Structure 1
Amino acid sequence: MPKSVDLPLYLDNASTTPLDSRVFDAMTPYFLEDYGNAASTTHIFGERAARAVKESRQTIADAINAQADEIHFTSGATEAINLALKGAYFAFGQSKPHIITVQTEHKAVLDTCGYLEEVGAEVTYLPVDSEGLVDLDELNSSIRKDTLLVSVMAANNETGVLQDIKSIGEICKSKGVMFFTDATQAYGKIPLNVLDQSVDMLCFSAHKIYGPKGIGGLYVKKGIQLTPQIHGGGHEFGLRSGTLNVPGILGLAKATQLCLEEMEEVSTRLRKLRDDFETEMEKARKIKVNGKNAPRLPHFSNFQLLNEEAESFILRNRNKIAVAQGSACNSALVQPSHVLKAMGLGDKEGENSLRLSFGSPHIAKDFINKKLFKLFN
């Protein structure tokens, strides 16, 4: 028999999560038995697939207090972001070309805004303070008569810092501008309520919540008209054409359901795990936490190493731990984080920062922290 492999401790759940076995079980029948096309409802195979999609859409809508026909499935959050920003600009940009976003947004937002600038949009990139938070007064004063929308992420993908999206939504609502939030990291981790938080558009992705890769979605408040970015068949209420990924949609819905059911317990335990680690490491003067005084997702820890270079730590522990360094959204590139730079850190401080993102399997606190402490000593 082959020898068992001692896998590294996986602490990069903000990048992607393992598929929950319960999610896998929910998806399997739609690969092997109920494999019909959800748009082919003239026979029982298509009817079963369509029914499963309808139920899944309702589950996801209920999770954020939306209506089922306000949920549009995409290949993931990046596509949803492009649909939201490009769709809004190409629909209304001639009369309202101004967009407001934040310097610490995910590259999917920043690069899309950069493209829109090339085709005529005006974009204001708001700064953040040393904790990574937006100044709400500055946001309010930046809104103009020709402002189309405000795009502010709910939770930062590098630091886990939570923006006050309820207050941001209220400001946008009072000024009559659309509010889009990238909730990719927050979805399934903290309560989201699009009505209470005055959110007009919101994106999410399954692979951040123990679901499959390649499926996500965009909530679009009823009445908002977007220009479709993918044409050919009029699927998803005419907003996003293409044969539906039925197993993926089922997986997204099941993962959503599980996250909601277990949110309170998992959040409490992961927060304690994270806080115990940070307290011990700061006490030993080994790390300095970035964004420590801001509200954060319970499973995120972004910190500077004080006694060792991050690159040497990663190389030394390559077979022992999986963590993120530099900008987490640049494929195959390790660069000084634009998020940390916007928070006032220098290149060296940014390059020497690591992101640990715990996951729900990491409930054996004593074992995990004992193993972690050993790696950092």
Structure 2
Amino acid sequence: MAAPAPIYLDYQATTPLAPEALKAMQPWLGDMTGGTGWANPHSAHSAGRKAAAAVEVARAQIGSLMPASGRVIFTGGATEALNMGLRGVLAAQAPRRKIVTIATEHAAVIDTCLWLETQGFALHVLPVDGEGLVDLDQARAAIDGDTALIAAMLVNNEIGVIQPVGALAELAQDAGALFLCDAVQGYGRVALPQAADLIAISAHKIHGPKGIGALWVRDGVALEPLIHGGGQEQGLRSGTLSPALCAGFGAAAAVAQHNQQADAAHVALLRDTALALFDGWSVNGSLDHRYAGNLNLRRDGLDVSRLLSDLRGVAFSAGSACASGSGRPSHVLTALGLPPQKVRSSIRLGFGRYTTVDEIERAAHLINSATFSQTG
């Protein structure tokens, strides 16, 4: 008999595919019955035009959750979208050469900013306090007349903390700089900054398919292509789009918009249940300014590597999925001021639409039992 599937509590790494997204994708995957759903959406014949129409329906579904007066550019994922946003706007911002970001940003932002620094741009990384929040006075002092771009994450992928991105976007606007928001963990769940100039998102974090993301760009923002070639995607992203991936992304966005209030209430219930069950654990990051579906917890004396190895009945993370296996301590938890031993005793639990209260209760029992056997 096969072992039961583990309880899945790693929603920040990826989310289960929504049935609505799978259904939307199926006509565009093609079959052997004479259908042409697999047609190239950039072809001029009727089959290509039908595929292109499906792409545009998806674009509108995704854009309906964005601020007004902008366009959605499909990419291969959020990392590409963030690179396009960071690197694509700087030429038009000359002679401004300064980039401002936050110490707890995703590696897709931090590493790209560090590379841009080697290309002659000035980088200013804002610290966070013990709750993971940036100080707006420090941000205001850093954002000056030489600032080209500010990049900030809406919801942190490791600790779930919600940054004051609306205020940061307004500071950027006042200084004549552009504001890029990494909304991967917040799109469809948390209010987006209406003053943002660029917003990066990913399908598989909202119950859509992997392999597709998008960059929303405000009208009037000049952007250079990151990938050169045929210029299929609005002249900015070369390569053939997948109608199936676009359709799945669009359907996932439509469901997220329709279910936003119900999803938020359900996730808040799961969070409250988890907090009551993980008595004696400490929460990393602010509880007041936080997306409810992310709990980053620590227990003194816990060896998380051993816990992950011993506890196969629950799928959870020791930190960011993007840094797993690197051997490096979490830069996010380190930025909060936690010493290495506390960083190593932290776990991340992520849950959402398809998680049940029963799963939270069973997972808490398993994790607590395994932890007690380590720490006594």
Select which of 282, 291, 294 maps to 2:285: 291
Question: 1: distance between equivalents of 2:172 and 2:24?
Answer: 39
1:33-72 aligned at under 5 Å gives the runs 33=35, 34-41=37-44, 43-67=45-69, 70-72=71-73
Check whether the contact 2:303–2:345 (CA below 8 A) recurs between aligned residues.
yes
Q: Counterparts of 1:9-24 in structure 2 under 5 Å?
A: 9-24=7-22
Residues 66, 216 of structure 2: 8 Å contact kept: no
Secondary structure at 2:278 match in 1: helix
Tell me the distance in 2 between the aligned counterparts of 1:86 and 1:331. 26
Verify the 8 A CA contact 1:133 1:294 in the aligned structure 2: no
Give the alignment partner of residue 220 of structure 2, picking from 208, 223, 227: 223
The alpha-carbon deviation at position 375 of structure 1 amounts to 2.9
- Corresponding residue SS for 1:324: coil
Which amino acid in 1 is paired with 2:305? E
2:352 maps to what in 1? 359
Partner Cα distance (1:347, 1:228) in 2? 40
Moved more, 270-279 or 154-163: 270-279
* Aligned mates of 1:373, 1:264 — CA distance in 2: 29
In the other structure, the counterpart of 1:198 is: 195
Q: CA deviation at 1:334?
A: 3.8
Partner of 1:166: 166
Consecutive unaligned residues in structure 1, runs of 5 or more: none
- Structure 2 equivalent of residue 369 of structure 1: 361
Q: What secondary structure is seen at the aligned counterpart in 2 of 1:73? A: strand
Moved over 3 A (4+): none
Aligned partners of 1:335 and 1:351 also within 8 Å: no
Give the distance between the partners of 2:134 and 2:286, measured in 1 at CA. Answer: 15
Q: Which residue of 2 aligns with 1:208?
A: 205
Task: Report the CA distance between 1:88 and its aligned residue.
Answer: 1.6
Match of 2:294 in 1: 300
1:204-238 alpha-carbon deviations (Å, 9 max, x no partner): 00011111100000011111111211011122221
2:230 maps to amino acid:
G
Q: What one-letter code is carried by the residue in structure 2 that aligns with 1:310?
A: V
Q: How does 1:1-377 map to 2 (within 5 A)?
A: 3-32=1-30, 33=35, 34-41=37-44, 43-67=45-69, 70-92=71-93, 94-192=94-192, 197-282=194-279, 285=280, 287-317=281-311, 319-330=312-323, 332-363=325-356, 365-377=357-369
Native 8 Å contact 1:326 1:335 kept in 2: no
Superposed CA offset, 1:52-92 (max 9, x none): 1111111111111334x611000000000110111122443
- Secondary structure of 2:115 counterpart: helix
CA distance in 2, matches of 1:341, 1:294: 20
Relative distance call for 1:216 and 1:226 in structure 2 (3 A) is: same
Give secondary structure in 2 for the equivalent of 1:224. Answer: coil
Q: Describe the shift of the 1:96–1:133 C-alpha distance in structure 2 as closer, same or farther (beyond 3 A).
A: same
Q: Which amino acid aligns with 1:346?
A: P
RMSD over aligned CA atoms reads 1.5
TM-score scaled to structure 2, two decimals?
A: 0.93
Shift of 1:100: 0.1
User: What number of residue pairs does the alignment pair up?
Assistant: 364
Please list every run of 5 or more consecutive structure 2 residues that lacks an aligned counterpart in the other structure. 370-376
Equivalent AA in structure 1 for residue 269 of structure 2: K
Higher mean Cα deviation, 139-148 or 289-298? Answer: 289-298
What SS does structure 1 have at the residue aligned with 2:14?
A: coil
Instruction: Find the aligned partners of 1:66 and 1:333 in 2 and give their Cα distance.
Output: 40
**CA displacement at 1:294 relative to structure 2:** 3.7
